[in-house]
């Protein structure tokens, strides 16, 4: 079946939250800074969640730069957009990106967290909410550096989830706070913003994709995450993506055009999302667990999101590489 990914309130799992996690429609949990006190507490929290539902996908937004949920006790990962300017050349930047992907993934996997929603594949443009979250303003550079970052993630055992399809970098509005409209033509979007997605999908590098809550008005009246055209015709058919499609947070203002939470979830699922996210609204999330029909989907999709145990073990035992990656992170941040 398709699944709901939701969140919890604090640094420990409450009995009523555990009961919600047991619902058959709940397939994932996303963690935030409010869920983190220190590594020992985080590990205990994840263990408590696993005791309730071992198969749950546990995720976090831990890209680096300003989007890193866990700080104290974790390495400070630089913004992806700072890698290339700090490097001597693209070759050096790719080496650094690979090691940062490894660093990010190993530190999360060490706490038994399955996924970071990364990398950002948006091409940097006018969007302030993207900015240096993007690797570059050049689509080719984004593709090369993201591919290297994914190398590091894969070497640690973590799957990659690219966002925000087909590209959020060329629209000013922040979809967390407002509806965003990009008036460009389909050919303009595909020639520029969509190139990193296209290339990495063709190379088989992405196990998951998160679409944008942006309306590309010359293409479809619905945001990409609610659009059968973008998700079925373009992403599934034309680009041949066969992984998991995660909605962006249905609580964001950019999703409000679809109606209440049930209407938003129905629109996302009908468009082709396999997992819908509802964050920072427990009442809204619970509304999707009563009198709401969850469509069936091919569950083998979700097996690709779980870390590979052998790779994880090998990565966690590779302390010299971890130390080199920390040194690289510090060098970029101090450049």
pLDDT at 254: 53
CA 103 from chain centre, in angstroms, equals 17
pLDDT band at 298 (very low <50, low <70, confident <90, very high): low
pLDDT band at 305 (very low <50, low <70, confident <90, very high): very high
pLDDT at 257: 67
pLDDT at 105: 98
Asked whether residue 213 is marked as a ligand-binding residue, the answer is no
**Edge-to-edge order in the sheet of strand 57-60:** 115-116, 57-60, 26-31, 3-6, 275-277, 244-249, 208-211, 161-165
Catalytic residue among 248, 281, 291, 300: 248
Q: Cα–Cα distance between 165 and 210 in angstroms, integer?
A: 6
pLDDT at 173 over 70: no
23 is catalytic: no
Average pLDDT in the 117-135 region? 95
pLDDT at 85 over 60: yes
pLDDT at 179: 74
pLDDT per residue over 43-67, tens digit each?
999 999 999 999 999 999 999 999 9
CA end-to-end span of the chain, whole Å?
47
pLDDT band at 92 (very low <50, low <70, confident <90, very high): very high
Asked whether residue 291 is marked as a ligand-binding residue, the answer is no
pLDDT band at 77 (very low <50, low <70, confident <90, very high): very high
Average pLDDT in the 19-42 region? 96
Domains and CATH numbers, the chain: 3-334 (3.20.20.300)
Average pLDDT in the 156-164 region? 97
Average pLDDT in the 268-292 region? 92
3-state secondary structure of 320: helix
Other Cβ atoms closer than 10 A to 91: 11
Query: φ and ψ at 296, to 5 degrees?
Result: -80, 150
Answer whether 111's CB lies under 8 Å from 40's CB.
Answer: no
pLDDT at 177: 61
Q: Cα–Cα distance between 156 and 205 in angstroms, integer?
A: 14
Asked whether residue 266 is marked as a ligand-binding residue, the answer is no
3-state secondary structure of 287: coil
Percent of the chain with pLDDT over 90: 83
pLDDT at 296: 73
pLDDT per residue over 98-112, tens digit each?
999 999 999 999 999
pLDDT at 297: 62
Query: For every residue of 17-67, which 3-state class applies, written as one string?
Result: HHHHHCCCCEEEEEECHHHCCCHHHHHHHHHHHHHHCCCCEEEECEEECCE
pLDDT at 2 over 90: no
Structure tokens at 115: 């996924």
Catalytic residue among 82, 174, 176, 281: 176
pLDDT at 174 over 90: no
248 is catalytic: yes
Asked whether residue 98 is marked as a ligand-binding residue, the answer is no
Helix 319-333 vs helix 90-109: crossing angle, to nearest 10: 120
pTM recorded for the entire structure: 0.96
């Amino acid at each position: 079946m398709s699944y709901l990914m939701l969140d919890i309130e604090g640094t420990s799992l409450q009995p009523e939250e555990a009961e919600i996690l047991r619902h058959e429609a709940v397939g994932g949990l996303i963690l935030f800074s409010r869920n983190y006190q220190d590594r020992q507490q985080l590990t205990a929290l994840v263990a408590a969640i696993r005791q309730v539902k071992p198969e749950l996908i546990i995720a976090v937004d831990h890209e680096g730069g300003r989007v890193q949920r866990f700080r104290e006790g974790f390495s400070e990962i630089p913004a992806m957009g700072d890698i290339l300017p700090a490097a001597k050349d693209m070759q050096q930047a790719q080496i650094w990106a690979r090691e940062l992907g490894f660093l990010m993934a190993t530190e999360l996997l060490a706490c038994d967290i399955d996924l970071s929603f990364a990398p950002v594949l948006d091409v940097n443009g006018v969007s302030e909410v993207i900015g240096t979250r993007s690797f570059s303003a050049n689509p080719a550079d984004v593709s090369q550096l993201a591919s290297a970052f994914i190398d590091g993630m894969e070497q640690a055992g973590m799957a990659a989830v690219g966002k925000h399809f087909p590209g959020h970098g060329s629209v000013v509005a922040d979809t967390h706070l407002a509806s965003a409209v990009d008036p460009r033509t389909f050919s303009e979007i595909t020639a520029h913003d969509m190139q990193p997605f296209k290339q990495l999908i063709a190379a088989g590098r992405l196990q998951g994709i998160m679409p944008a809550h942006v309306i590309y008005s010359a293409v479809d009246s619905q945001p990409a995450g609610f659009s059968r055209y973008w998700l079925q015709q373009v992403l599934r058919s034309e680009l041949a993506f066969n992984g998991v499609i995660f909605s962006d947070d249905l609580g964001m203002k950019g999703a409000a055009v679809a109606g209440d939470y049930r209407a938003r979830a129905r629109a996302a699922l009908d468009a082709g999302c396999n997992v819908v996210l509802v964050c920072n609204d427990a009442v809204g999330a619970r509304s999707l667990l009563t009198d709401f029909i969850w469509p069936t989907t091919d569950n083998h999709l979700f097996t690709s999101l779980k870390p590979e145990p052998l790779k994880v073990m090998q990565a966690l035992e590779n302390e010299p590489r971890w130390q080199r990656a920390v040194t690289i992170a510090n060098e970029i941040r101090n450049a």
